[in-house]
């Protein structure tokens, strides 16, 4: 038998190891959702993106930072949930705010997002007015208005000094970051932003494409949760924090607001038992339940079309059986000194 003779310089081919995703080691390397998932859909970038971190201009300190947000907004709800489960409600204060143009520039008494944005910059609030955003009370400046970035900076262990032992959680651990972002590839463009793509679709074709992607994403999430308790396995992660606020709003708000006749099924139709079970599990978490007020969120979204009473009736009709009734939510708002007629409270910070 002939013997194969290799040339002296022969080197067997070996596949080069894949480079790890940069986000595994550096959260700053994460690409903006608005840019990554644009796909012809124009959601502007959040233009204020500074970091609260040790050694920076903005160092973590208790009492220095303030969150401006609203119970209606799903992106705000993400931040409320992370703040709650990390125990940062004792460290980072919060106000529920409207998005009007009231308020005095340069004042420390704010009654709208506009007045906060413009307290340091007299023109910014005319060009981009979004919630949630993180405000530095010492320097009177908005640190960031990017909800994904706010989640990451509040999740770091730099805040653990002021946390109880059971609150020293890492919801974006290195070994799960790739999986979390892979889930975000489904959830962000398909559900979180996907409902807006349905709402603002400017043609039947665009709407049909957005609805198809929305229900493909719901099917993928349902399949995932049928085999595991959380979106990235056996432990809660940032993937769950990102998805919950938007899925909990689906039946009571998005189904009515963004979908056209004939509407596809609600989550509570029976087609999505794993999603509903996961929603209830997170809703009943003692840290998360106080962050939820879907009746107020329904008013926030449907207020232009419906009266407060009509919005409340819609909430009661479409809510899951395990969600609170109106009386419980009214008492909750009173305890928080929240003006439910205007959706926010005025406060001096």
Indicate which residue of 46, 65, 71, 73 is catalytic: 73
Confidence check: pLDDT of 240 > 70: yes
Active site residue 207: no
- The per-residue pLDDT for 189 is 95
Q: Which residue has the tokens 């799903």?
A: 74
Assess whether pLDDT exceeds 50 at residue 51.
yes
Identify whether 196 is a catalytic site residue.
yes
First to last CA, the chain: 88
Helix boundaries (H) for the chain: 33-36, 74-85, 113-117, 147-155, 177-187, 194-199, 204-225, 238-248, 255-257, 273-283, 294-302, 308-318, 326-335
Average confidence (pLDDT) over 105-129: 61
Q: Is the C-alpha dihedral spanning 142, 117, 41, 208 positive or negative?
A: positive
* Residue range 36-45, pLDDT digits in tens: 888 776 666 6
Res 32: pLDDT: 87
CA–CA gap between residue 98 and residue 100 (Å, rounded): 6
- If DSSP codes are grouped into helix, strand and coil, which group holds residue 95? strand
> What is the distance between the alpha carbons of residues 97 and 345, in angstroms, rounded to a whole number?
6
Q: For the purposes of burial, counting CB atoms within 10 Å of the CB of 83, is it exposed (0-12), middle (13-18) or buried (19 or more)?
A: buried
pLDDT band at residue 15 under the 50/70/90 scheme = very low
DSSP 4: P
Position 123 confidence tier, pLDDT thresholds 50, 70, 90: low
- The average pLDDT across 2-30 equals 58
**Better-scored residue on pLDDT, 204 or 72:** 204
Query: Rounded to whole angstroms, how far apart are CA atoms 20 and 132?
Result: 31
Q: What pTM was estimated for this model as a whole?
A: 0.88
């Amino acid at each position: 038998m002939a013997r194969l003779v290799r040339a002296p310089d022969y080197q067997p081919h070996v596949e080069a190891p894949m480079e790890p995703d940069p986000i595994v080691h550096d959260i700053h390397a994460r690409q903006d959702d608005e840019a990554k998932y644009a796909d012809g859909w124009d959601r502007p970038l959040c233009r204020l993106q500074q970091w609260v971190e040790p050694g920076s201009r903005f160092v973590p300190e208790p009492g220095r930072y303030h969150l401006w947000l609203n119970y209606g907004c799903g992106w705000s709800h993400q931040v409320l949930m992370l703040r709650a489960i990390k125990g940062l409600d004792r460290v980072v204060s919060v106000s529920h705010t409207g998005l009007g143009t009231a308020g005095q520039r340069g004042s420390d008494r704010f009654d709208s997002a506009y007045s906060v944005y413009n307290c340091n910059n007299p023109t910014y609030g005319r060009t981009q007015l979004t919630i949630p955003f993180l405000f530095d009370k010492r320097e009177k400046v908005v640190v960031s208005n990017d909800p994904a970035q706010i989640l990451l900076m509040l999740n770091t262990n730099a805040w653990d000094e002021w946390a109880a032992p059971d609150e020293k959680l890492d919801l974006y651990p290195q070994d799960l970051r790739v999986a979390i972002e892979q889930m975000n590839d489904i959830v962000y463009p398909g559900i979180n932003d996907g409902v807006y793509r349905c709402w603002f679709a400017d043609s039947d074709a665009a709407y049909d494409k957005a609805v198809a992607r929305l229900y493909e994403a719901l099917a993928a999430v349902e399949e995932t949760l049928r085999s595991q308790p959380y979106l990235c396995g056996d432990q809660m992660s940032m993937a769950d924090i990102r998805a919950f606020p938007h899925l909990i709003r689906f039946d009571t708000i998005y189904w009515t607001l963004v979908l056209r006749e004939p509407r596809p099924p609600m989550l509570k139709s029976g087609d999505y038992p794993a999603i509903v079970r996961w929603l209830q599990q997170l809703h009943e978490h003692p840290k998360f339940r106080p962050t939820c007020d879907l009746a107020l969120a329904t008013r926030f979204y449907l207020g232009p079309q419906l009266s407060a009473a009509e919005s409340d009736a819609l909430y009661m009709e479409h809510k899951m059986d395990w969600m609170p009734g109106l009386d419980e939510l009214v008492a909750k708002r009173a305890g928080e000194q929240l003006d439910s007629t205007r959706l926010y409270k005025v406060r001096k910070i």
